[in-house]
Chain A
Amino acid sequence: MSREQRAPVLRTRALVKRYGGVTAVDGVDLDVREGDRYGFLGPNGSGKTTTVRMVLGLVLPTSGEVELLGERRVSRVLPQVGALVEGPAAYGHLSGRANLTLSDAAGRGGARRTRTARVREVLEQVGLDGVDDRPVRAYSLGMRQRLGLAAALLQKPRLLVLDEPTNGLDPQGIREIRDLLLALNGQGTTVFLSSHLLAEIEALCTRVGVLDRGRLVAQDELSALKAPTGRMQVQTPDVAAAGRLLGTRLEVVEADTLLVRCADPAALNAELVGAGLRVRGLQPERRTLEDAVLEMTSDSSDRHSSDRPSGDRPSGDRHGSDRHGRRPA
């Protein structure tokens, strides 16, 4: 089934939030379909959390609308949504189990009959089943994160909205949570993951939305964002000879790796080998997600220096002409 045929799970239309004169979110149109693993990327302060809060009904939009699981009145479908917003939170004087029980009892859709069993099940899922009755106050950051995730899973949600879910976890923990999310997604749960960690999104998501200064600057399949750049990466020890042969088609030389503008790898290989050059490796160059995102977004908003940043970031017009990460030879 193609993506367009799947039911929309989360949609926003021209979503705007202004705080006084500051526009935090500026006309965002999200489109998340059933079964997606959607990565919501953006630098700190780009409006990710405000958008997530509007989606969940915590912050009221200045204008625009939110449609969650096909419903405009968000509170009606929130029982089918599990959320982790800006870090976990729990009552410090209670145990993790007691916190989950209270949370389940607080709202609709948590049958008392199945409560104990469901609490046990989610604690198992997030790897906290061996935890004793110590209060949450004594938990490590990673344990709190797992508990927050457990609370989000308690009502077997159709949609998971997660803001930085692996914050504070060690590498094994990150892998565990990623596997858990993949497994849940395999069973049909839609996952909406908001993060500024590119690697996180790249490892988990199939679709990506990029937010920059409150605007959605890209929303596409991950594979499309990481599209080939139209150049080949060639590894050869005969750098000088290759330079003479290729002329202006050779754009960048980095040690024994050449970047050659060329559409057909087979033809390029034949040409190089025909000229007697030794080719160690040849593959199409792909942009990394990092390249793609850095091109589309502006400076980190928590940077407040007076001079413009230099460094190796693409300079000049970041939104216009230079969208393919070309660097001069």
Chain B
Amino acid sequence: MIAVELRKLLGRPRTWVMVALLCLLPTIVAVFLKTSGVAPRPGTGPAFLSAVLQNGALFPAAALAIVLPLFLPVAVSLIAGDAIAGEAAAGTLRYLLVRPVGRTRLLAAKLVSVVAFCVLAVAAVSGSAYVVGTQLFGATAVASVSGPDLSTSQATLRTVLAVLYVGWCMFGVAAVALFLSTCTDSPLAASLGAIALLVTSGVLVGLDSAGVVQPYLPTRYWLAFIDLFREPVAYRDLVRGTALQAVYLAVFLGGAWANFATKDVTS
């Protein structure tokens, strides 16, 4: 079943269009940076961009910071929101279940395929950004955000860690969208519901008077991956972010399973 779901995901043109669009945005930014030669002043604009002109090897991290606030979670929400509700809307859900595919098995297979998309998307963005960055800006020794230089191997390791962290954050988004996907027969409603949650979270993170709830908001620690490029690495937010996403993952996947396993399929 997992193989079937992966085949469906990878065989669908939509998947590749989304991945291509995700890679396109950082590339556009890179082209503008290169042609104008004007970087945002340090401390303004998306993270790392000011440093990218000197060092293309930092561009994967910058690219992640560019797509993380909106594009990446939207793409993940679309795929995960479509997982069950899309099958329901197309009418294929009932045929899968009478085939029969166990409900838990189907949900697990959908989860694997959504996780695969998250990994694919993050890897494609950082991979394409590495190529674009090193081609346009060249790769020299990487300066950490807080000053001292990082060796190439250190920088590579940290970029890989950043990719994993961002991927992990996307699993949290995927879990929310997958849960909503089991609640409705409309894939659009499920995706938009997940996006609405993220937008709400984003607004509250920027609102000082919402300080009480901020540590529990899903998007609160997303940009903590920037801390990986400090010397020494500031692990506090990274650990909190990882743990918080784990809680979101557990709660929403549990909810998705409990809901779907006992649901009347009337689509």
* Interface residues of A, Cβ cutoff 8 Å to B: 53, 56-60, 75, 78-79, 81, 83, 85-94, 102-103, 105-108, 151
Contacts and interface: CB of A to CB of B under 8 A. Distances in A.
- Ranked 5 nearest A-B pairs via Cβ: A89-B91, A107-B99, A78-B100, A58-B265, A59-B264
Interface in B87-145: 90-92, 94-102
A215 B90 CA distance: 30
Contacts of B43: none
Contact of B3 (A75, A81, A91, A105): A105
Interface stretch (B6-14, B30-38, B174-182, B198-206): B6-14
B98 A83 contact: yes
A75 B265 contact: no
A93 B16 CA distance: 14
Given A58-B265, A58-B266, A83-B98, 18 more contacts: A57-B98, A57-B100, A58-B97, A59-B264, A78-B98, A83-B95, A86-B91, A89-B90, A91-B90, A92-B90, A93-B12, A93-B13, A94-B11, A102-B8, A103-B96, A106-B4, A106-B99, A107-B1
Given A58-B265, A60-B264, A102-B7, A90 B92 contact: yes
Nearest to B96: A106
A85 B264 contact: no
Contacts of A87: 91
A86 B92 CA distance: 11
Interface residues of B, number: 24
B101 A59 contact: no
B3 to A, nearest CB: 7
Nearest to B262: A60
Interface string B7-25: 1100111000000000000
22 contacts: A53-B264, A57-B98, A58-B94, A58-B97, A58-B266, A75-B102, A78-B98, A78-B99, A83-B95, A85-B95, A87-B91, A89-B90, A89-B91, A91-B90, A102-B7, A103-B95, A103-B96, A103-B99, A105-B3, A105-B4, A107-B99, A107-B101
A278 B95 CA distance: 61
Contacts of A60: 262, 264
Contacts of B95: 83, 85, 89, 103, 151
B7 A75 contact: no
Contacts of B100: 57, 75, 78-79, 107-108
Contacts of B98: 56-58, 78, 81, 83, 85
A111 to B, nearest CB: 14
Contacts of A86: 91, 94
A64 to B, nearest CB: 15
Nearest to B86: A91
Chain A facing B: main interface SS: loop
Contacts of A102: 4, 7-8
Given A85-B94, A89-B94, A59 B266 contact: yes
Interface centre among A57, A87, A88, A106 (most CB of B within 10 A): A106
A81 B97 CA distance: 12
Nearest to B5: A106
Contacts of B264: 53, 58-60
Given A58-B265, A93-B12, A106 B94 contact: no
Nearest to A88: B91
A85 B99 CA distance: 12
B8 to A, nearest CB: 7
Interface string B44-85: 000000000000000000000000000000000000000000
Nearest to A89: B91
A102 B12 CA distance: 13
Contacts of A88: 91
Contacts of A53: 94, 264-266
B15 to A, nearest CB: 11
Contacts of B1: 106-107
A59 B4 CA distance: 25
Contacts of B11: 94
A90 B96 CA distance: 10
Contacts of A105: 3-4
Nearest to B89: A89
B117 to A, nearest CB: 17
B180 to A, nearest CB: 21
A20 to B, nearest CB: 12
B39 to A, nearest CB: 43
Contacts of B94: 53, 56, 58, 85-86, 89
A107 B265 CA distance: 18
Contacts of A79: 99-100
A221 B111 CA distance: 48
Interface in B246-267: 262, 264-266
Contacts of B13: 93
A214 B135 CA distance: 70
Nearest to A102: B4
Contacts of B96: 103, 106-107
A24 B36 CA distance: 68
Contacts of A106: 1, 4, 96, 99, 101
A94 B11 CA distance: 9
A89 B92 CA distance: 5
Contacts of A89: 90-92, 94-95
